Structure 1
Amino acid sequence: MHKTPEQLFEQFNQAIELIHTDLACSYLDAYLENAENLVDNNHVRVEDGLPKPETVKKLQDLYEKLDIQHQDKETIRRLLQLCLLKVMSKDAIQANHQMTPDTIGMLIAYLIGQIVPLNKPYKIFDPVVGTGNLLTKVMNDLTKISHQTVEAYGIDNDDSMLAAASVSVDLQQLPVQLLHQDSITNLDIPQSDLAVADLPIGYYPLDDNVKNYQTKSEKGHSYVHHLLIEQTMNYIVPGGFAFFVVPSNLFETKESESFVKWIQSVAYMQGFINLPSDMFSNTASQKSILILQNHGANAKQAKQVLLGSFPSLKNEKEFRKFLAQINLWVKTSLKS
């Protein structure tokens, strides 16, 4: 029977509490243990007598109520997101591991649907996949639009976040290959048509790894978000697109002049759109979506770069008006 994520959350959360108590482990480990049991057709793994037999029985009853096999992909993704949000607050997980909000995933998927021709099977990748929430949200939304087969690749250097991404793609039955590595080093993935990434902000500590990067800093450590943008474009086909969540002040730093020169040498900057300001606690934390298109194939610079700010989703009239402006820009500036 189909249920809402909120209805399912109660059972999953009870299961997390049971394993957390019985195994005396972190909430994240309890979450992963439960998710892996669900992937394994509700089979509860017992090691050294734990979980206790009475706990195993309670867990199996909860799994039966969850009935995860009969829920759709988006319901499962949203359920896992609700559970992980609680897990992260309980375990006080660091800010760099926070999940990308669904609103951002929805807006990126909308932009891709308008801008990128998805009229054939395509490959998509995320160089900083984390828990997989952004990638799987975008994939689920695009599947409704394109009905094309998709292959996806997600990379992260944090094994606990990658474990969370792994159970997410398994439970949603999505065709995602996950790789545990530093995205600044050489990647063992094919060229993709499309990339999405909610980029971490800060400095990359391993200077030896960035010697061949055009976006490296002349002195000291380099901005990790600059390096990740450069690396991502290396793995995009000619004419392919990348959609990055970046700080809104991306082009206001002292490194921005050389960064812009690098962009112009390999790609077209087709858009830079501020996310709704009410999503952020202050202007310093404001984020935007940067849209780059690799040179080559039939790519060309849009007549006008798509600039602007998404209104608050609460202001439905202004929001619809802005979407109409995006659609008009695609027809008159990008594709004409």
Structure 2
Amino acid sequence: MLKQPEEIAEEEKELYEHHRIVVDKGQTQIRIDKFLVNRIENISRNRIQNAAKADCILCFGKPVKSNYKVKPNDEISIVLPYPVIELEILPEDIEVDVIYEDHALLVVNKSPGMVVHPGHNNYNRTLLNALLFHFSKTVQPPPFPLLVHRIDKDTSGLLVVTKEEYAQTFLARQFFDHSIERKYQALVWGDFEKNSGTVSGFIGRSAKDRRVMSVSDNEGEGKWSVTHYKVLERFGFASLIECQLETGRTHQIRAHMRHIGHPIFSDEMYGGRILHKGNSTTKFKQFIDNCFTIMPRQALHAGVLGFIHPTTNQMMHFSNELPADFTQVLEKMRRNSKNP
């Protein structure tokens, strides 16, 4: 079967590529699809034509079709999902919660602990293995699931996956433009002075630990990132918040919350599995340890996903409930708040 390229296994890589080209002054007028095939390495004319059909080829900021003839000094921008390359991935009979499915795409509710795609010593029992099996039950040969975004292994929630290249390209443009609606629920340490706020900064790999992302004011240390949040519920020592992504960087919410002193509850990598707030009594420490046992992963859930459908052009909106471990921890915290 096919798999996304090796670059995607590196978490700092996006699932799309962006090219900006200024046409030479001496360029003769030729079709833009032919021009781009000659200018971009290892790209097929079919990928270019799919990009044009999905309005992913822009000239001076306006979409153009594949028969547009380039002119000297044209400023061309093109967004493409990464191509697939040959690598065997086998279908595996793994339960997957499909929220919605049609001919072009499907939306799944990923369970915590499931890796989205093979890589980093996770070469099987991934979401892609599960979806290949799911597709094989109705279509032979099954379409290969094409990714346009991902969520971390231990984050639960909604993910859209496409079945065809045009749909993948169409959605990649929305992710690039940050027009996708994505909201997460997160349980974080501490209380907030205000009911809402925004965290921004440049996210890049930490110099101390390359597995972790850090936030900086220095443009040279990462990619620009923005998260808006609002408080949904307060427990004194912790808060349930809703986070809306304006950008979608690696570990963005996890890094942003630690950056402002509110690491996500039970997020070991970002300092969330140590006692930050509350009292230091043995009873309270035992209460927190019990919560960690129930939810031994970061308390982060992708609960809302919205996008324009690639073939109907209709706005699609999906939401789902918190998983059982998250709900159980919240209930314990509510009871503790009433009877500390």
Scaled by the length of structure 2, what TM-score is found?
0.29
Using CA pairs under 8 Å that are at least 6 residues apart, name the structure with larger relative contact order, 1 or 2: 2
Structure whose residues are more often strand by fraction: 2
**Which entry has the higher C-alpha Rg, 1 or 2?**
2
Structure whose residues are more often helix by fraction: 1
Scaled by the length of structure 1, what TM-score is found?
0.30
